[in-house]
Chains A and B, each alone.
Chain A
């Protein structure tokens, strides 16, 4: 669905992307993580065909986004970071109008557009269908953006920080929606987020973008495992709490039991979370060879 090889992007004298490589397969949910300014939005906008790249090979649904035609456009869904448009329109009105453009691109296995009332229910705006968009709350507005993004029943959906400003319940509902899109609609999804917990819950695969390149690519489990950062072991002995950070938790626990046997109780072992792995990766990267890139950025900034 997406193939990116050697993608570079240069603004003036600053290289924001310096060789990004990754792929997305059909039906996959990919989360693109990275520090602010790492080029997540730039990457996603190049894939959406809104921005010309400086160099590299990019294929989205088999087409170079720079040459994507309207037929190609109809197979994509786009949710950008901030929309403030169409404030005077009513929710139902706008979805109905935008959906019409997709009707000629309907196929037997993908009926386009999504039936408006069903779509409104799906994103949880049932009570707001007749309301003006300008009167929606922040979370409702964001759900409206998602609804517009999927009104054409896209095969590939781009979500740029979709849950920024959501309360926990709205976030949970949104996660359900993403799962439904991926499971029932067979939609491939590429999302950017700052929320590691969200990435862990939603994504089949996580990409970490830092210093202009993908520095890690794998499932949340694989990433935590690869980093093999220390696990935290907690236990109680003689009425006292102990906490130990061990690189090899299994062996540590075995030794613990060999030494104290029945004396050990309330054992708790916590593997490094994705967040730990992410922090470790980015830190390692910034202090290592990647640090040069980060320093270059700062110099240009001055």
Chain B
């Protein structure tokens, strides 16, 4: 087999091992379960009664948006933090020291993050199917829509996560990345209709993938009559594909450039770090 294919295959296996690994430690399991559990409990207690003018509960109309949000969180936050940590602990350098290791590393990351996104969706969707009977799981095309929104969403968010993870070199930086991301989630109409937000905020939200992920998921799982709550009284499939597609293409063009620059610079910065440490020890 040729080296490239070998590396891709080794990368797929790497992703498999990493994904399996997320089930074998408390920290990762907690990350999977915590947010969905909180949201589901809140929705069950707060959102039981049908909303005025509809037959759907607050839980019914919120859960699809939460699914969209989960995809974005996994693609952005998880990938960003994993990249920063693995750069610091030497995983990336190990990949550099292995023939075609970088290719395998990134194939592995795509598998891991996609798998984590799928698992996160299932953790919300499966209980929701029993708790919230307003979700249109048997609507024609529901699963197809869900699938392409998921794929396009991952393609739009993962390169951004990879880029952010490369720009920040210290684990401490995660603290600076997460709050703006949470702010964006709050502005993206996941937990209330975006049409009730100020127009300027609507525009900001529409510039980023999170809103479109939520919209896409709502279009998949809610009755079409609910489109009236959305901007333009429509699911706006074309715009969804357009915005997510632009993010995906831009990310896929930019990410390799940034990653390559990072890989080159990395050696320089490790030098600096070592030299600084050496100087502090006074060993020069």
**A and B bind:** yes
Please state if A85 and B94 are interface contacts (CB–CB under 8 Å): yes
The verdict on B2 contacting chain A, using a C-beta distance below 8 Å, is yes
Residues in B neighbouring A89, C-beta threshold 8 A: 17, 21
B80 to chain A minimum Cβ distance, whole angstroms, is 18
Task: Digitize A68-107: 1 where CB-to-B-CB distance is under 8 Å, 0 elsewhere.
Answer: 0011011010101011111111000100011011111100
Contact (A100, B274) CB under 8 Å given A70-B3, A70-B99, A89-B21: no
Number of A-B contacts (CB under 8 A): 94
The verdict on A219 contacting chain B, using a C-beta distance below 8 Å, is no
Contact partner, B17, options A73, A83, A93, A297, Cβ 8 Å? A93
Residue in A41, A51, A104 with the greatest tally of chain B CB atoms within 10 Å: A104
Q: Secondary structure at chain B's binding surface: helix, strand, loop or mixed?
A: helix
User: How many residues of chain B get a CB closer than 8 Å to chain A's CBs?
Assistant: 38
Contact partner, A101, options B2, B100, B274, Cβ 8 Å? B100
The verdict on B86 contacting chain A, using a C-beta distance below 8 Å, is yes
Contact partner, A50, options B1, B93, B104, Cβ 8 Å? B93
Task: Digitize B259-284: 1 where CB-to-A-CB distance is under 8 Å, 0 elsewhere.
Answer: 00000000110011011001101011
Q: How far is the CA of A78 from the CA of B279 in the complex (A)?
A: 26
Contact partner, B267, options A50, A70, A86, A88, Cβ 8 Å? A50
The verdict on B10 contacting chain A, using a C-beta distance below 8 Å, is yes
Please state if A97 and B17 are interface contacts (CB–CB under 8 Å): yes
Please state if A84 and B267 are interface contacts (CB–CB under 8 Å): no
Residues in B neighbouring A298, C-beta threshold 8 A: 284
The verdict on B180 contacting chain A, using a C-beta distance below 8 Å, is no
Please state if B86 and A101 are interface contacts (CB–CB under 8 Å): no
Q: How far is the CA of A142 from the CA of B137 in the complex (A)?
A: 52
The verdict on B156 contacting chain A, using a C-beta distance below 8 Å, is no
Q: How far is the CA of A286 from the CA of B215 in the complex (A)?
A: 71
The verdict on A209 contacting chain B, using a C-beta distance below 8 Å, is no
Residues in A neighbouring B24, C-beta threshold 8 A: 88
Residues in B neighbouring A97, C-beta threshold 8 A: 10, 13-14, 17
Give the contact-size bracket for chain A: 35 or more
Residue in B14, B18, B24 with the greatest tally of chain A CB atoms within 10 Å: B14
Please state if A101 and B284 are interface contacts (CB–CB under 8 Å): no
Please state if A71 and B90 are interface contacts (CB–CB under 8 Å): no
Please state if A73 and B97 are interface contacts (CB–CB under 8 Å): yes
The verdict on A64 contacting chain B, using a C-beta distance below 8 Å, is no
Contact (A73, B98) CB under 8 Å given A11-B271, A85-B90, A88-B24: yes
User: Which B residue sits closest to A297, measured CB to CB?
Assistant: B284
Residues in A neighbouring B14, C-beta threshold 8 A: 97
Contact (A100, B9) CB under 8 Å given A42-B271, A148-B94: yes
Residues in B neighbouring A115, C-beta threshold 8 A: none
Contact residues of B with A, CB < 8 Å? 1-3, 6-7, 9-10, 13-14, 17-18, 21, 24-25, 86, 89-91, 93-94, 96-101, 104, 267-268, 271-272, 274-275, 278-279, 281, 283-284
